Each structure stands twice: as structure tokens, then as C-alpha cells.
Amino acid sequence: MPPPATPAPSATVHPCLRTHGKEVARLHLFDWIVLLLLVATIGLLGLVQPFHRFVSQDMMADLRYPMKRSTVPDWAVPVIAVVVPMVFIVGIYIKRRNVYDLHHAILGLLFSVLITAIVTVAIKDAVGRPRPDFFWRCFPDGVPKYDNVTGDVICHGKPGAIKEGYKSFPSGHASGAFAGLGFLSWYLAGKMKAFDRRGHIAKLCIVLLPLLSATMVAVSRVTDYWHHWQDVFAGGVLGWVVASFCYLQFFPPPYSEHGMIHSFICISEQ
């Protein structure tokens, strides 16, 4: 009896390319529900009044930097952290048509940004560190007032400005930028085989470009006098750590032999 015929290579279809996107999303429905809960949590944390740390007259000497308009406005952070990475992710999907890769990349990116945002806002509210321009937020007319007994500040500025004035540590712009662009850096490293030891330094330059962009966002927060350098450093480390953790939940390390494989699900179904 002749052996069964082996199907032609052209007839073999990778399971990652066959599966419908809705089926992948259904399998990860719980993850998407958790994402919605994270969004709601961020909204609730925004309503919390941060801890008002004791600020005496002597401490005000380091908190008299002028109030400036942000070089990177608040609305630009979601664009930088989410929209920009998604453009690259969708571009790779158009080229490779891998629904697993697209789904996991978007899911990992959103988890990275949202988890970072929650941790950042929670720490801001708990620490209550004054911003470098706190004096002018507290005393917009330049006339300071302190408690005669405790020596603590008695602010008479706008409540919203005062509330934001106690949210210096850590930097949300820095943590958000490193969460989104840090995830993109990991993603590009895996897709480009940046660590294949073939000496293509140009690949590393492309991989480092998102991190450089995130660094520039972080530096702008210091030059705008919205944050102390420690705030920016802590925010950047926080965003990068969370991005790395989230990436490795969905993809192999880019330096491994499976760094180019699209996801763990793809590996298990080969």
C-alpha cells in the first residue's frame, strides 16, 4: 500500500493566518473586560484628592519656579503612548496578515499603558509631592500665607491648580510615554530580529528611536518646571518595567530563538 501523499507546501496554511479575529477576541474576552475595569479605575482615581504634604516657608525656596505651558500637552500623551505604537502595529499586520500578532500586540500595549497609568496616579495621590511651581499655584498673587501654629501653607489659588500642584511624583508624562513607546521598542526588536548578532546596527537604531522619543517627552517635563528630575526618572523606570512585563506576557523575548514568532499561541499551535 503506497504511503499517504504529503500535501504540497503551498497548501499549508499557518493557523495564525487562518483564525478569524473575532474568535481570538472571544478567547480573550476576560482580558478585554479587565481593560474596561482599568479604564474605570483610572477615572475614579482622578477624583481622589491627593495627600497634601506639609510645605513650610523654608521649603518654598525650591518651589518658586515659574508656571509654564506644557511643551507636551496632556492630550498628546495618549497619542504618543497608544496611537503612535498602534500605527506601527497595524502597519506590520497589513504586511503579514497575522491576526494573533495584531490582537496580542494591541492587548499588550493597552495593558501596558493602563496599568502604568493606574500605578502612577495611585502613587501621585499617596505621595503628594509639590511641583516645582507650587508657590505660584498656591499663591497666584505672589502673597504667601502660612499657618501661625504649624507653619504649613494656606493656599488661596484655584482649587484645580492646587490639586495638580500636589501631584509631582512620579511624572505621568514620562511613565505613559515609556509604557507605550517602550512596548513599541520591544515589539520592533522582535519583528526585526534586532538581536540576531548579525551586526545590523541600523536595526538597533530603529529599536532605540521610540525610547529616545519617550526620553525627550520626559525631559520636557523638567524644562517646563512641571516636575523634579526624580519624578521623571521614577516615571520612566515605572513605564519601562511595566511595558517589558506586559510584552513578555504575549511574546517571547526578542533575543530568543523564537523572537520572531508572533505569539505563544502561535508556537503552541505549530
Residue whose entry in the numeric block shows the C-alpha cell 502604568 = 116
Among 175, 169, 178, residue whose Cα is nearest residue 227:
169
Task: Compute how many other C-beta atoms are within 10 angstroms of the C-beta atom of residue 186.
Answer: 24
Helix, strand, coil tally for the chain in percent (to 5): 65, 0, 35
Among 40, 62, 183, residue whose Cα is nearest residue 121:
40
Secondary structure, 3-state, 42-73: HHHHCCCCCCCCCCCCHHHHHCCCCCCCCCCC
**Residue 173 appears among annotated catalytic residues:** yes
Among 252, 179, 189, 178, residue whose Cα is nearest residue 216:
178
H helices of 167-228, in order, are 172-192, 201-223
Burial 189-213 (b: 16+ CB within 10 A, else e): bbbbebbeeeeeeebeeebeebbeb
- Which of 103, 227, 228, 262 is labelled catalytic? 227
132 prior amide bond cis, ω within 30: no
As a whole number of angstroms, the distance between CA 180 and CA 191 comes to 17
**Residue 200 appears among annotated catalytic residues:** no
Among 169, 164, 166, residue whose Cα is nearest residue 153:
166
- Which of 173, 200, 228, 262 is labelled catalytic? 173
Considering only the C-alpha atoms of the chain, give the largest distance between any 2 of them, rounded to a whole number of Å: 102
CA distances from residue 252 to 63, 82, 107, 258 in whole angstroms, order as listed: 45, 21, 15, 6
Q: Active-site positions?
A: 173, 227
